[in-house]
Amino acid sequence: MSDIVNGLNGRGLSLVPKSDAKQSMKDYKSDQEVRWCPGCGDYAILAAVQSFVPELGLKRENMVFVSGIGCSSRFPYYMNTYGFHSIHGRAPAIATGLAASRPDLSVWVITGDGDSLSIGGNHLIHALRRNVNLNILLFNNRIYGLTKGQYSPTSEIGKITKSTPMGSLDKPFNPISLAIGAEASFVARTIDSDRKHLQSVLREAAEHRGTSLVEIYQNCNIFNDNAFEPLKDPATRDDITLRLEHGQPVVSATKAVRRGPRGLEVVERSSVAEDEILVHDAHDPDPSTAFALSRLDDPAFEHVPIGVFRNVDRPTYDEMMREQLETAVAAQGAGDLSDLLLSGDTWRIN
């Protein structure tokens, strides 16, 4: 079992000033009227975030929510913090500039499956590989909501939508596999309806220093209702949810994961001995097993891993950038403009 080596993790917020006053959920509610469709999963996520952030105890003015375009991207308007509702797909880039230049901020990116995996796919993977201190919350409803119901890059093949009357042709992205493929240092999945789990994942993401990607299965009750119903239905959810907890065996109520001859396999729990079951190691520096776990997610919802796939320690871009500036000043002294302008070959004319 891997341990956190140099203690970087847990200090995701160490440079963000703490609030003296005790905070509550209402401190984080802005005065704006929330305008999602009634019944939208976004409400649950908003409430979960608003009720969770006070426990971080940060100065509210040092939190920033940056979003792109889409239903979920309206999120910043409802948080009584600083917020930037930007343009389609570009939130990770904008947040990168902000977080790289302001270590005293807790920066959150709110995005959707279209925003982050289609138009903004490039920015997402590069943010993940760079490991800037950001928390990216990816609301995945597997559909385009704001443009009224086209298939998205996470929609299942054959999806009948307004733009695909005979079914969609493209294979969906698995956001977790994509993020682990980009060697993200923190990758997790949770569900809008499970507030307790959602908040526990958010807590871990916030404390992680580096880019954390949290995929949140979110229901769009207008264009893709019940997309995640098997994970929510009390009759099925405990069987299909493979809980990922560091140091714990990967199991659902009835199923278990073990290493087979050709990689990980899901088997009936009763058919394996306890010591054959894979014990989850979220801190393993090698992403292979985390990636293999992400492949257990099947479109038919027979079994879906939920939880923190990967939480590893690696240097963050913003910290290293700051260190380079500090090293330059330590070695050469602070910059002097006059010296700069007079550097190189000069001559005087009298």
Partner 1 sequence: MTKQVQQLDRVIIRFAGDSGDGMQLTGDRFTAETAEFGNDISTLPNFPAEIRAPAGTLPGVSSFQLHFADHDILTPGDAPNVLVAMNPAALKANLGDLPRGADIIANTDEFTKRNLTKVGYSANPLEDDSLAAWRVHAVPLTSLTVKALEGFDISKKDAERAKNMFALGLLSWLYHRPTEATVKFLETKFAKKPDIAKANVAAFQAGWNYGETTESFSVSYEIKPAKLKPGVYRNISGNQALAYGLIAASVQAKLPLFLGSYPITPASDILHELSKHKKFGVRTFQAEDEIAGVGAALGASFGGALGVTTTSGPGVALKAETIGLAVTTELPLIVVDVQRAGPSTGMPTKTEQTDLLMAMFGRNGESPVPIVAPSSPSDCFDAAIEAARIAVKYRTPVMLLSDGYLANGSEPWQVPDVSELPDISVEFASAPNGDDGTTFHPFKRDPATLARPWAIPGTAGLEHRIGGIEKADVTGNISYDPDNHDRMVRLRQAKIDGIDVPDLEVEDPDGDARVLVLGWGSTYGPIAAAARRVRKGGGKVAQAHLRHLNPLPANTGEVLRSYDKVLLPEINLGQLALLLRARFLIDIISYNRVRGLPFKAEELAGVIQDVIDSE
- Least separation in angstroms between residue 205's CB and partner 1 is 19
- Least separation in angstroms between residue 125's CB and partner 1 is 8
Residue whose CB is less far from partner 1, 262 or 348 = 348
Please report, in angstroms and rounded to a whole number, the separation of the first and last CA atoms in the chain: 74
Single-letter residue type at 139: F
- Phi, psi (5° rounding) for residue 41? -65, -20
Residue whose CB is less far from partner 1, 6 or 350 = 350
Sites of contact with partner 1 (CB under 8 A): 30, 32, 59-64, 66, 69, 76-77, 79-87, 90, 93-102, 104-105, 122-123, 126, 321, 324-325, 327-329, 331-335, 337-338, 340-342, 344-350
Those residues with Cβ within 8 angstroms of residue 154's Cβ, 6 or more apart along the chain or in another chain: 113, 117, 140, 142, 172, 173, 174, 175
- Least separation in angstroms between residue 301's CB and partner 1 is 34
- Least separation in angstroms between residue 312's CB and partner 1 is 22
Tell me if 257 sits within 8 A of 243, measured CB to CB: no
Residue whose CB is less far from partner 1, 5 or 329 = 329
Question: How far, in Å, CA of 52 to CA of 300, rounded?
Answer: 32
Residue whose CB is less far from partner 1, 234 or 344 = 344
């996470």: which residue's tokens?
Answer: 154
DSSP-derived 3-state class of residue 268: strand
Residue whose CB is less far from partner 1, 273 or 334 = 334
Single-letter residue type at 120: G
Per-position DSSP letters for 242-257, written without gaps between them: EEE-TTSB-B-SSEEE
Work out the burial of residue 265: count CB atoms within 10 Å of its CB; fewer than 13 is exposed, 13-18 middle, 19 or more buried.
Answer: middle
- Least separation in angstroms between residue 348's CB and partner 1 is 5
User: Is beta strand 63-67 parallel, antiparallel or unpaired with respect to 106-112?
Assistant: parallel
Residue whose CB is less far from partner 1, 13 or 256 = 13
- Least separation in angstroms between residue 267's CB and partner 1 is 41
- Least separation in angstroms between residue 237's CB and partner 1 is 36
For residue 135, give the nearest of 89, 197, 91, 180 by alpha carbon: 91
DSSP 8-class letter at 220: B
Single-letter residue type at 192: D
Residue whose CB is less far from partner 1, 121 or 230 = 121
